[in-house]
Amino acid sequence: MARTQMEKSVYRERFVTELREFAILAAYLFICFTALLAYKAALLKVYGVSFAPWVLAAIKALVSAKFLLIGRMFGLGDGLTQKHPLIISTLYRSFAFLVVLICLTAIEEVILGHLRGESIADSLAGLAGGTLWQVIATSFIVLLILIPWFAFRAVGEVIGDATLVRLFFESRQKH
């Protein structure tokens, strides 16, 4: 059974919308991750350690954006969105997706460690810098990156994405 032209148009529109959101989220995360990794590179340079963060930031941004969109597609973090103020749903989603990103980062480290011939414990030892305080600090910074994104998305859900984009990117007329 062939799809109608209207069905194809709907799928194409959804694909374009999803691709646009992926590109925007990946760009946002790339900017944030680049800033963090550039800071890390500057600190390491003081101790004579060379570190090039750009490719790593791009890869992490692309992978994280995809996982965030997949999680949202499955309704992750939607539990408090209808009955509570936007701040509650924004924080809830931010924490939920922080947990997802931490788990995925841990899985990534285990897989990469396996490819290097390391044990799981050795692979996870270097996670987010290796010490508990570095893991907490990194997690907190990622949370601070997620909160504005989910706040922006929550406002878009309430007033509509087109209105939100217009408010941010069109000139305001004086009355």
Which amino acid makes up residue 161?
A: D
Token duo for residue 79? 């539990």
How much is the pLDDT for 2?
A: 54
Confidence (pLDDT) at 3: 64
Q: What pLDDT, in 10s, does the model give residues 41-73?
A: 888 888 888 776 678 888 889 988 988 888 888
Give the angle subtended at the CA of 93 by the CAs of 168 and 10, to the nearest 5°: 65
Looking at every residue in the chain, the average pLDDT score rounds to 84
77-122 residue pLDDT tens: 777 667 788 899 899 999 999 998 888 888 878 888 888 888 888 8
Six token digits for residue 74: 């499955």
* Arithmetic mean of pLDDT, 23-28: 94
> Of residues 92 and 8, which shows the higher confidence score?
92
Taking the C-alpha atoms of residue 5 and residue 9, their distance in angstroms, rounded to an integer, is 6
pTM of the full structure = 0.79
Q: What is the pLDDT of residue 130?
A: 65
* Chain-centroid distance, C-alpha 18: 14
Q: Which residues, 6 or more positions from 85, have their beta carbon under 8 angstroms from its beta carbon?
A: none
Please report the pLDDT score of residue 65 as a whole number: 92
Position 68, amino acid: L
Distance CA 168, CA 76 (A): 27
Q: Is the per-residue pLDDT at 1 higher than 70? A: no
> Is residue 39 over pLDDT 80?
yes
CA atoms of 137 and 133, how far apart (whole Å): 6
CA distance 13 to 20: 10
Closest-CA residue to 142 (of 68, 41, 69, 84):
68
